[in-house]
Amino acid sequence: MYRMIARIVAQKRILLPVLFAVAVCFLVVQRPERSKAAGNADSVNGPKVIVLNYHKVDYMNHSLSVQPPDFEQQMAFLKDNGYHTVTPHEMYMAFTDGAPLPTNPVLITFDDGYADNYTYAYPILKKYDMKAAIFVITSLMGKPGYLTWGQAAEMEASGVVSIESHTVNHGSLTELTDEQVRYELTEAKHDIEQRLGKEVEFLAYPTGAYNLHIASLVQEAGYKGAFTVRYGNMDRAANFYAIERVPIFHTSDTFASFLERLKFVPLFERIGWVKN
Ligand SMILES: [Zn+2]
């Protein structure tokens, strides 16, 4: 049944209205077995971690800017509904070494290292006892609108935020020479490690661009995993160099969009849309 619908969707490219109708039907049919935190339901591959992807948290009217009150509402929702945040390292240890995961695990990530992550998101994360990872572009640190190394160090030391790598210059890695890719990966990792006195284990691909060869260079550079902008979630069967995420945007109804994205992940996977 699921496969049949997936084939129809793939062949006919039936768009949102039909897909939404199908999604609603499935949701209604399956509601009794679904927990509140449906996106984290255990599967044959064990528990899933939902990886949320943010960029800016500020008052700009832009899809990549989630407004601070909206961000707070989302964190409060996670807290009130039994979700627990994990760091990239905790997720890695759970899936590679069998370390325990909390119930309904969520990994909150921010790309690019905007200053507003410190100004607006960090106090809210602390207030709700949440952890997050920020992927910084090392050449932009301290530039207007971006985090300073001092802010990064403070957040890292607090245990609330893990600072990870988003390369030196944020160029699409698939468009660079191998030599340039190696520089982008190793220099950013080394720079953060030197300045913050920590091991940098994870990368977020700039613009999301990657392929198998790039992934092998990421591994070679000493990273334990890398995050894409492909839509999906994470379990022990997933490729650690192609970790999928759920992007959270500012929309006309940001909270409703957030809830849909939080809860519809496994649904989309089942009907074969996201994985195509
Ligand atoms: Zn980016």
Task: Report the alpha-carbon distance of residue 202 to residue 189 in Å, rounded.
Answer: 9
> How many A from CA of 21 to the centre of ligand 1?
33
Token digits for 40?
């984290």
Residue with tokens 């039994």: 82
Fold (topology level) of 43-266: TIM Barrel (3.20.20)
> How many A from CA of 109 to the centre of ligand 1?
11
> How many A from CA of 206 to the centre of ligand 1?
5
- DSSP letter at 137? -
pLDDT in tens, the chain (276 residues): 555 545 544 554 545 544 444 444 444 333 333 334 444 455 677 889 999 999 999 999 888 899 999 999 999 999 999 999 999 999 999 999 989 999 999 999 999 999 999 999 999 999 999 999 999 999 999 999 999 999 999 999 999 999 999 999 999 999 999 999 999 999 999 999 999 999 999 999 999 999 999 999 999 999 999 999 988 888 888 899 999 998 888 888 888 888 888 886 554 544 444 433
> How many A from CA of 194 to the centre of ligand 1?
22
User: Are 127 and 71 in contact, with CB atoms under 8 Å apart?
Assistant: no
For 72, 183, 216, 261, the CA distances from 246, given in Å and listed in that order, are: 18, 29, 24, 7
Q: How do the domains of the chain map onto residue ranges? A: 43-266
Task: Report the alpha-carbon distance of residue 205 to residue 225 in Å, rounded.
Answer: 10
pLDDT value at residue 251: 82
Residue 57: helix, strand or coil by DSSP?
A: strand
> How many A from CA of 125 to the centre of ligand 1?
21
